[in-house]
């Protein structure tokens, strides 16, 4: 008699979209390309350097971690490359090489492997490493400071910094069209609104991410920003502005819906996205950080296991 194979599974429900990890990761990498391409056009070869170094470091770090922990080598599934790419998309093009390397290592080692690797990470690995860098080296993560040497054809002040300090009038120059076309400073791949939206639609259409999370996040961010704006239109910028600046769109489509750290049931997904939207706006408007998306992602990642307790009762179960 041959030995029985055992599968150990976590509790229901499951969501299967017919694809596998590999397809999903490479799908997300493709979806990110338009946004990254604009960053490279704007910031040139230094941006290429950051992106390449981050992806390479992520793959090599995952390889070494796989070897060190004596697990299957998983670098071909594309997850490490995706994490490296996402990290590079959030940081300025002028980030020094050693910050890129340290940040990518934090992403893969601390954000992912310390918790047991893909599927076991309670937080989005990139949000973890970005917050660590923001706290440790604020000057490198400050877009105004990082990009002083670039002559750009648009106002080179981080829009959320202006909005936070000077209110609505100071950001009147940023039209919705400008923001959609990426005419704002920010991370290498986080400013091109249209590109990110196109990527997001592709991901939703291919069912690599769940629309419930993205849309509830964007809708609640919009409504919260609107409520703030209506209470004090001089101090708080309008909802379209907040929808298209900072990490809103990359957060909606690439960070929040990460499979391991987001809920699996529809109702929890809606709550999860909505909570992230409200938190982001609270941090932006009355908190101390300029952009609240990363912190909001971490906070809702934290309550994700609780949210997933809201689920249909199992049939026939007592109490």
Partner 1 sequence: MTSEKDLKLILSVAVILFLVGVLCFAAFPIESPQIPNRIQYRSATGHALFEHLEHNTGYDVECLECHHHYAEDREDEEQLACGACHPQEPGKATDPEVCSECHDEEYYEDTEMEARTPAVHSQCIECHAGIGAGPLECAECHMM
Q: Which is nearer to partner 1, 9 or 45 (CB)?
A: 45
Q: What is the 3-state secondary structure (H, E, C) of 75-127?
A: HHHCHHHHHHHHHHHHCCCCCCHHHHHHHHHHHHHHHHHHHCCCCCCCCCHHH
Q: Which residues of 86-116 are buried (b: 16+ CB within 10 A; e: fewer)?
A: bbbbbbbbbbeeebbebbbbbbbbbbbbebe
How far apart are the C-alpha atoms of 14 and 308, rounded to whole Å? 12
Cβ at position 81, least distance to partner 1 in Å: 8
Torsion, Cα of 197, 202, 207, 211 (10° steps): 20
**Residue from 56, 132, 201, 227 in contact with partner 1 (CB under 8 A):** 56
If one asks whether residue 149 binds partner 1 (CB under 8 A), the answer comes out as yes
Applying CB under 8 A, what is the total number of residues that bind partner 1?
41
Q: Which is nearer to partner 1, 166 or 302 (CB)?
A: 166
Q: Which is nearer to partner 1, 48 or 194 (CB)?
A: 48
Upper half-sphere CA count for residue 228 (Cβ side, 13 Å):
28
If one asks whether residue 136 binds partner 1 (CB under 8 A), the answer comes out as no
Q: Which is nearer to partner 1, 77 or 212 (CB)?
A: 77
**Residue from 97, 176, 230, 305 in contact with partner 1 (CB under 8 A):** 97
Q: Which is nearer to partner 1, 169 or 230 (CB)?
A: 169
If one asks whether residue 41 binds partner 1 (CB under 8 A), the answer comes out as no
If one asks whether residue 76 binds partner 1 (CB under 8 A), the answer comes out as yes
Angle among Cα 86, 89, 91 to the nearest 5 degrees reads: 115
**Residue from 38, 59, 225, 271 in contact with partner 1 (CB under 8 A):** 59
- Non-local (6+) Cβ contacts of 127 within 8 A are 111, 255, 294, 297, 298, 301
Cβ at position 245, least distance to partner 1 in Å: 15
Question: Is the CB of residue 209 less than 8 Å from the CB of residue 250?
Answer: no
Q: Which stretch binds partner 1 (CB under 8 A): 73-81, 193-201, 264-272, 304-312?
A: 73-81
Binding site for partner 1 (CB under 8 A): 44-46, 48-57, 59-60, 63, 72-77, 81, 94, 97, 139, 142, 144-145, 148-151, 156-157, 161-162, 164-166, 288
């Amino acid at each position: 008699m041959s030995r029985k194979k055992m599968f150990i599974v976590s509790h229901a429900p499951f969501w299967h979209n017919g694809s596998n990890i590999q397809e999903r990761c490479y799908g997300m990498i493709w979806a990110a390309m338009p946004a990254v391409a604009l960053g490279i056009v704007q910031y040139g070869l230094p941006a290429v350097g950051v992106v390449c170094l981050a992806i390479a470091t992520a793959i090599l770090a995952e390889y070494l971690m796989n070897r060190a922990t004596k697990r299957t080598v998983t670098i071909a599934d594309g997850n490490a490359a995706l994490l490296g790419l996402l990290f590079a998309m959030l940081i300025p093009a002028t980030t020094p090489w050693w910050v890129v390397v340290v940040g990518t290592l934090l992403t893969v080692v601390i954000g992912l492997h310390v918790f047991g690797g893909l599927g076991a990470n309670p937080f989005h690995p990139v949000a973890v490493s970005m917050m660590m860098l923001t706290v440790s080296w604020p000057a490198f993560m400050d877009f105004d400071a990082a990009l002083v040497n670039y002559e750009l054809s648009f106002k080179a002040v981080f829009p959320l910094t202006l909005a936070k300090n000077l209110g609505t009038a100071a950001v009147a120059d940023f039209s919705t069209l400008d923001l959609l076309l990426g005419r704002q400073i920010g991370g290498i791949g986080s400013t091109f609104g249209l590109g990110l939206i196109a990527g997001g639609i592709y991901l939703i259409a291919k069912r690599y991410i769940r629309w419930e999370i993205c849309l509830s996040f964007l809708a609640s961010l919009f409504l919260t920003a609107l409520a703030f704006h209506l209470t004090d239109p001089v101090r708080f910028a309008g909802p379209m502005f907040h929808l298209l600046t900072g990490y809103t769109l990359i957060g909606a489509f690439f960070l929040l819906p990460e499979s391991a750290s987001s809920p699996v049931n529809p109702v929890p997904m809606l709550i999860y996205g909505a909570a992230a939207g409200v938190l982001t706006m609270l941090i932006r408007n009355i908190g101390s950080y300029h952009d609240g998306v990363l912190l909001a992602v971490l906070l809702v990642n934290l309550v994700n296991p609780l949210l997933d307790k809201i689920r249909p009762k199992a049939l026939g179960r007592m109490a």
